[in-house]
A and B are shown apart, each in its own frame.
Chain A
Amino acid sequence: QVQLVESGGGVVQPGGSLRLSCAASGFTFTSYGMHWVRQVPGKGLEWVAFIRYDGSNRYYADSVKGRFTILRDNSKNTVHLQMNSLRAEDTAVYYCVKDVDFWSGLGNWGQGTLVIVSS
């Protein structure tokens, strides 16, 4: 079965950097795009970024463009979210999500990793 396991969350100071990772298994990783979605505890969902199956194209929400980078390593079945210039408003649970098909839907979700940006 599909498994997505996020790691790398934690507490970081404003202006700092953090790299989230997501280890994928149970499906042909090289055939699917991957998303990151975040959720402030108690609030709604916010889409963050998407990378195509082969890494050829990446897409970002305006709120993170220029600060976050989504990457994938198809040899290791992993996807990463490099987060720079972090702000308090980036505090959230970050979910790694497998695409159903190009933009069709967000099919399988990891359990999430919490990022807290605070001094």
Chain B
Amino acid sequence: QSALTQPASVSGSPGQSITISCTGTSSDVGAYNYVSWYQQHPGKAPKLMIYDVSNRPSGVSNRFSGSKSGNTASLTISGLQAEDEADYYCSSYTTSSTQVFGGGTQLTVL
């Protein structure tokens, strides 16, 4: 199972919006609405930010939103804040009954 494709890095200024893409195939992202997104700060465990494409767990800011079109999912962060600077990973359930992650995107808040 190949990893999902994410940009290596994205950046934005405080207050701006950014979008991170996550491209898979018809065997993973395109097959189910089981796409999730994770935030990881250096030295910390990942944190779930979005599940089932667009659902936010309790406690996650509504500045974070998710969507999907075909084989590509997206995470949008609006009103960018310094604390959003972190690595972000997408993940999807696959038709092989496994889970696959993207390679990760480093978000820099300028």
Interface residue ranges, B against A (CB under 8 Å): 1, 3, 32, 34, 36, 38, 40, 45-48, 50-52, 57, 89, 91, 93, 97-104
Contacts and interface: CB of A to CB of B under 8 A. Distances in A.
Contacts of B91: 45, 47, 105-106
Interface residues of A, number: 23
A59 B96 CA distance: 9
B110 to A, nearest CB: 23
B4 to A, nearest CB: 10
Contacts, number: 68
Contacts of A46: 101
A106 B38 CA distance: 9
Contacts of B47: 109
A105 B1 contact: no
Contact of B93 (A62, A103, A108, A111): A103
A80 interface: no
Contact of B89 (A45, A100, A104): A45
Interface string A3-37: 00000000000000000000000000000000101
Which 7 interchain pairs have the tightest Cβ spacing?
Answer: A105-B51, A105-B36, A47-B99, A109-B45, A103-B93, A45-B101, A44-B104
Contacts of A88: none
Given A44-B89, A61-B1, A95-B45, A107 B101 contact: no
